[in-house]
Amino acid sequence: MARLVLATHNAHKVGELRAVLAPVVPGLDPADVVSAGELGAPSPVEDGLSFAANALIKARAVCAATGLPAVADDSGLAVDVLGGAPGIFSARWAGSHGDDRANLALLLEQLGDIAPEHRGAQFTCAAALVTPGGFEHVEEGALRGSLASAPRGTNGFGYDPVLVPEGETRTCAELSPEEKNAISHRGQAFRALAPWIAKVLSGEIA
């Protein structure tokens, strides 16, 4: 079976993708799913104007660098009263890329006077599959919820400590990894993409 490379240096995402693919790709060896970090593939500049565009940029770059089918995702938080922001700028909302604490603090400060009923938001994820033969496919997932007034929980990362999913009283960071994967935007997008990945790994799609 062909190997699949995930365009990330985040081991958590690799484990998540393996867990999603296992039920739909019979006989999948976890070792068949590797990360760009493990293969030493460079990280491209994400200058797309949407989650889907950025996911494709990453998948195309890693596919070209490794010669393997590549999967990439791009995700972020869209806040209703901010017109969908931070959106594609979620990871660098406070200026420095990946500074979760600063990003959270800035967002909560901006929403300080917003009443609970107007704190609607959603996580959005686009997952892209690109093959050396030129096949490309993108799927998206979303997790609706509302924003807490202060961070809660120690699981997850990014904005997980402030998004309370619809029907829940806990934030995403208070859910177990299994609970979060079952409803998360990334889990939805990966599961939708999984049948296409299975076709690529079986040789049905080049």
Taking only the tens place, the pLDDT of each residue in 2-12 is: 589 999 888 77
Between CA 91 and CA 11 the distance in angstroms is 17
Whether 74 is a known active-site residue: answer: yes
Between CA 168 and CA 191 the distance in angstroms is 22
User: How many other β-carbons are positioned within 10 Å of the β-carbon of residue 162?
Assistant: 25
- Report residue 98's pLDDT band, with 50, 70 and 90 as the boundaries: confident
> Range with the lowest mean pLDDT among 5-9, 82-86, 130-134?
5-9
Average pLDDT across the chain, whole number: 92
Annotated catalytic residue: which of 73, 74, 80, 99? 74
Amino acid at the residue 167 = G
Which of the two residues, 105 and 42, has the higher pLDDT score?
Answer: 105
pLDDT at 1 over 50: no
Mean pLDDT within 71-90 = 96
**The pLDDT of residue 2:** 55
